[in-house]
Chains A and B, each alone.
Chain A
Amino acid sequence: MTDQLSDPLQNALESLAQGMTVEQVLAPHPDLAPELRPLLEAVLAATELGAREVPAGAIARSRRRALARAAGLKAASPRPTRLGLWPRLALAAAALVVVLGLGLDGMSAAAAQSLPGDILYPVKIVSEELQLRLATQRDDRLNLEALYSQRRVDEVVGLLTLGRELPLSFHAIVEKMGPTLWTVGGIPVRIGPETRMVGEILTGMTIEVNGLTQADGTFLAHELHLESFDTLGPVTSIAPDEWVIGSVPIAIDAETWIEPEIRVGDLVLVRVRVLEDGSRVAESILLFAPPTPTPPPAAPPSTAVPQSPKPTKTAEAKEAEEATETEASGEEDGNSGPGGAATQESGEDTEDEPEGTDEVKEEFTGVVEEAGGGQWIVSGRVLQVTAATEIRGDPVVGDTVKVVAFLQPDGTWWAEKIELED
């Protein structure tokens, strides 16, 4: 059939393109008209999808971006060669002049403001390393690491603002994932075909981004490396070298920081670090809430769902701890965790939980990734949806929704309400 009709179809298309009517086109082929007519109807439909006007400003925007990229490429090559002896001496002399001119305090202040590529930037890094070595307390060290990590992000922003091209790396949380553009720690990160991804990266996870700041204000990623993510679930079993959270075994090592008094059945927040070989080790385990003795208000669905990384809810964790008056006083600092986990998802902080509640309730905002049946996925979180779930605004995949969910005894989350955001 294809062979018989593809030529007449092409002829018909050419005739139509010359302005003939469908009837005129079909008239010489009455025998083929029953087959050709539906195809010409499909042509109409296919035509309706096209003929889009280029939006105003799109060409100029794209041209600007292309020219900026060209300028960046031009500036980046020829690649800076290793400096000869005299230029290096001249550079060192210039640095010395700067140091002498500013004095130690002034140099320290100037170095703090420096960006990668600046003469004083190595001073800033050495100073940071020194402070890290001097920090003997774990919390102090974690706080410093979080501070320096944020500084690297700020430096990238500074370089992008200045339009400087430099190879850099930084650590931050994935906020948005688009086809060619992600947002990581507030930085627009361009994803190319050569970008290498290590680990299954989802929104809300912490990653290391290696790449190049670009003149167009984006960061071109060469490699994205999954570093850590947070997961919430009940403790199913405890062993010296492995805990099972929900149904997921997570290795424990000497570095794992575990909040005291956690028992099987407790709901815990685990920061999972992904190692080079892909294995996963708990970095910290914090008590989120004690076991729930009574079921949540709605009937839980019977099907089990897989665990998935959950966004951190440090504020809620604190509230839950305060509500249950845990004896582990003075450990609030641990809640903040390395890297400032409270910012790790687009989810909004919830209002205060009612004191003494038996339910673990969570409210968050996220993007619908899968919808339908008894299971939805919103920003990587698996939700059980039943007839009792209130769904407002007819959200579909891609929509941003507000979710109110309750933790079930089996560790899954039942969605009480899913509401389309305006």
Chain B
Amino acid sequence: MVYSASLTTYDLWPGLRAGPASSMTQDTDELSSLRRLDPHTLASIHDRYFPEVYRYAAYRLGDALVAEDVASEAFVRLLESLRAGAGPRTSVRSWLIGTANHLVHDHFRAVYQRPERELDERTASENDDPHEHLERSERSQGLRRAFESLTPEQQHVLALRFGGGYNLEETADLMRKNANAIKALQFRALAALRRALGTPGA
């Protein structure tokens, strides 16, 4: 499988241009309200962060249903942790993404799954040429296999950078590393992904 760098502009990567929907604001005020289980605060925080958490989980898992379950579970865990006197101190988003990361780990540990069998929703269309569709589906499966051959940390950084669209500093914040460490990690992750995908023309 070959991924050509022939495209001219980076339209496929809107996340990095636009950045995540919300910034890394301090959520301390909302957190105290959330600790009291205020439904309005909860609904507000949920709706703000759910898409980010879902996209992260979907990127890692390649399965829309499991991703929804993981994202939803992250919010339930948030409530339970806050109620138990734990949970995030400042950034709700960091906590949610971190929890989603753990849930993804748990998922891979706990169940046998088959992401390569999942049809990529973005490429599936009734109007597709079946041959073209099959090609895309095979490519998608190959890509998913290559991604899953990476280490969990490499998957995590790619999911944040290219799935979540977080910039370098945000990714560093979410992974609790410095920016240089993220640069090195994303380099290794991309090099490993390239190797797993095979060399051009192969």
Contact = CB atoms under 8 A, between A and B. Distances in A.
Contacts of A179: 66, 69-70, 103, 106-107, 110-111
Nearest to B164: A50
A260 to B, nearest CB: 42
Nearest to A43: B190
Interface in B32-56: 37, 39, 42-43, 46-47, 50-51, 54-55
A147 interface: no
Contact-size category for A: 35 or more
Contact of A41 (B4, B72, B183): B4
Contact-size category for B: 35 or more
A181 B121 CA distance: 24
Given A46-B190, A62-B75, A397-B112, A73 B37 contact: yes
Nearest to B14: A51
Given A50-B59, A63-B46, A41 B103 contact: no
Contacts of A14: 16
A54 B66 CA distance: 12
A251 B137 CA distance: 52
A52 B55 contact: yes
Contacts of B112: 368-370, 397-398
Interface in B134-185: 140, 143-144, 146-147, 158-159, 161-165, 168, 180, 183-184
A82 interface: no
Interface in A59-75: 59, 61-63, 65-67, 69-71, 73-74
B194 interface: yes
A50 B69 contact: no
Contacts, number: 215
Interface stretch (A19-27, A95-103, A226-234): A19-27
B92 interface: no
A53 B59 CA distance: 11
A130 interface: no
Contact of B72 (A21, A66, A398): A66
Contact of A44 (B12, B71, B159, B164): B12
Contacts of B62: 49
If over half of B's interface residues share one DSSP class (helix, strand or loop), that class is named, otherwise mixed; here it is helix
B111 A177 contact: yes
Given A69-B76, A179-B103, A45 B50 contact: no
B68 to A, nearest CB: 5
A53 B47 CA distance: 14
Nearest to B147: A49
A198 interface: no
B97 interface: no
Given A3-B184, A180-B70, A9 B190 contact: yes
B186 interface: yes
A378 to B, nearest CB: 11
Contacts of A21: 8-9
A17 interface: yes
Contacts of A41: 2-5, 194, 197, 200
A81 interface: no
If over half of A's interface residues share one DSSP class (helix, strand or loop), that class is named, otherwise mixed; here it is helix
A396 B194 contact: no
Interface in A367-403: 368-370, 396-399
Contacts of B147: 46, 49
A394 B68 CA distance: 28
A196 B168 CA distance: 38
Interface stretch (B23-31, B77-85, B124-132): B77-85
A335 B68 CA distance: 43
A37 interface: yes
A275 interface: no
Contact of A61 (B42, B59, B68): B68
A16 B17 CA distance: 9
Given A2-B187, A19-B9, A179-B106, A65 B72 contact: yes
Best-buried of A3, A7, A53, A77 by chain B (most CB within 10 Å): A53
Given A3-B184, A177-B110, A192-B77, 15 more contacts: A2-B184, A39-B194, A42-B191, A43-B162, A44-B5, A46-B162, A52-B54, A52-B58, A58-B68, A62-B68, A65-B72, A73-B80, A396-B114, A396-B117, A399-B117
Interface of B: 2-10, 12-17, 37, 39, 42-43, 46-47, 50-51, 54-55, 58-59, 62, 64, 66-73, 75-77, 79-80, 83, 102-103, 106-107, 110-114, 117, 121-122, 140, 143-144, 146-147, 158-159, 161-165, 168, 180, 183-184, 186-188, 190-191, 193-194, 197, 199-200
12 contacts: A5-B187, A6-B184, A39-B187, A48-B143, A50-B55, A54-B54, A63-B46, A65-B72, A65-B75, A73-B83, A177-B110, A180-B103
**Closest 4 CB pairs between A and B?**
A179-B107, A17-B16, A62-B72, A50-B163
